[in-house]
Structure 1
């Protein structure tokens, strides 16, 4: 005779039941540098704007800002150039330049689309968690399609952006899952700190900058070959 468990079934944000016995509740993905190859577009946009403001933007300046939100980058540029502008005004000018480059197309990172497709087919909730502001998200992720994600959290929709844990905590809360049973994927120190401090199992895939080792953070060269069994094992090991 069959029995019915008295434990409440776990559900996703849309109310659908998670697969029985699944430890992995969701996968939370950064965008710039993780899913799309856009850091060089940010670098070009920053260099052009700084030149317009009378300064010089170096590779060192770019690396110091990888993963940062528009506000901190705006303040950095003001300190560098002495421009009589607010951080928001600098950010708006930077976004205008970046948007033009995005519309010409941003390449996907190796394995990115395959990962999102695999998760969707497996019924694993997947959310985009980016420091980029909402107005650019759909254009930036166009190679995969924003509709491929169950949810997304943009940089201007959180009280505190990366490296604060709020973006990942918000994504988990909106999906109705436990961040400790989520896997997050990041390519920067700022993003890794945000995800790990939120309690997520964190995969770091360094792209343009070196990421120092951190306990509980798993390192990979790329998203190529990431499968559901491995993602499940990361949460199970915890």
Structure 2
């Protein structure tokens, strides 16, 4: 057990793009679906979807000609992404090691993802369910990111004050959600660039960063 006054109460993790680089899988599912309905889907369109809740993504796909209900779109895309993920889980380098370091230090982690439970459980199993003290998915919260509700709910599930926790995110909607919740935020962008900001700490990845680096961010932000 690590003993220090600088310990956060918990760490709240986004999933897609943060722990696992599954965004290309979602982009593939989007492109295939739009193409099947005779539309076109560009890389720019796909990048605008990063971090959105699935109902919001479904509405955008409908505006590009997909003639299915929102629930049907979500189900179709999720099934495709599950298929691709079962073939290969694309972990972000260093993310699992940091997650394990938190577990070993006695700092609880929660998963706060806008993916739905059926897909999230595939990733949770691959990462190791024992590494999460709680998990929350996009079909288990009323408001999706960028609303603060997901991170507030994640903290609630752990029984901690979100203002004493760290949230780790990669996307603009996700970072906005985490910042609005009051958590200390570490932004680790991957497919979409994020600007420098006083509202969060920007990392270029997890490689070469460990528990001490995360605790240093928490200490610095707590004393600001």
Indicate the TM-score class for this superposition, using the shorter chain for normalisation.
over 0.9
Q: Hey, what does 2:134 align to over in structure 1?
A: 151
Quick check: which has more Rg, 1 or 2? 1
Counterpart check, 1:125 vs 2:104: no
Q: Which residue of 1 aligns with 2:36?
A: 52
Moved more, 97-106 or 192-201: 97-106
1:157-203 alpha-carbon deviations (Å, 9 max, x no partner): 11101111111000111111111111111110010001111011111
Take 1:19 and 1:25, find their aligned partners in 2: how far apart are those partners?
12
Out of 47, 64, 69, the position equivalent to 2:53 is 69
Tell me how far apart the structure 1 counterparts of residues 213 and 35 of structure 2 sit (CA, whole Å): 46
RMSD: 1.7
Work out the CA distance in 1 between the residues paired with 2:102 and 2:58.
36
Name which of 145, 151, 157 aligns with 1:174: 157
How many pairs align? Answer: 221
Q: Which moved more, 1:218-227 or 1:155-164?
A: 218-227
Matched, 1:189 2:133: no
Call closer, same or farther: CA 1:114–1:23 in 2, change over 3 Å.
closer
Q: For residues 90 and 53 of structure 1, what CA distance do their matches in structure 2 show?
A: 12
1: distance between equivalents of 2:127 and 2:12? 15
State the 1:27 CA deviation.
0.7
Partner of 1:102: 85
Pick from 11, 27, 39 the counterpart of residue 27 of structure 1.
Answer: 11
Secondary structure at the counterpart of residue 214 of structure 1 = coil
User: C-alpha separation between the residues in 2 aligned to 1:188 and 1:20?
Assistant: 30
Alpha-carbon separation, structure 1, partners of 2:209 and 2:132: 17
Alpha-carbon distance, 1:220 to partner: 0.6
For residues 27 and 200 of structure 1, what CA distance do their matches in structure 2 show?
9
Structure 1, 203-212 or 58-67: larger mean CA deviation = 203-212
Deviation at 1:20, TM superposition (A): 6.8
Structure (1/2) with the larger helix percentage: 2
Structure 2 CA distance, aligned partners of 1:105 and 1:147? 21
Residue pair 2:6, 2:219 contacting (<8 A) in 1 also:
no
Runs of 4 or more above 3 Å deviation:
18-23
TM-score relative to the length of structure 2: 0.93
Matched-pair contact (CA < 8 Å) for 1:50–1:57? yes
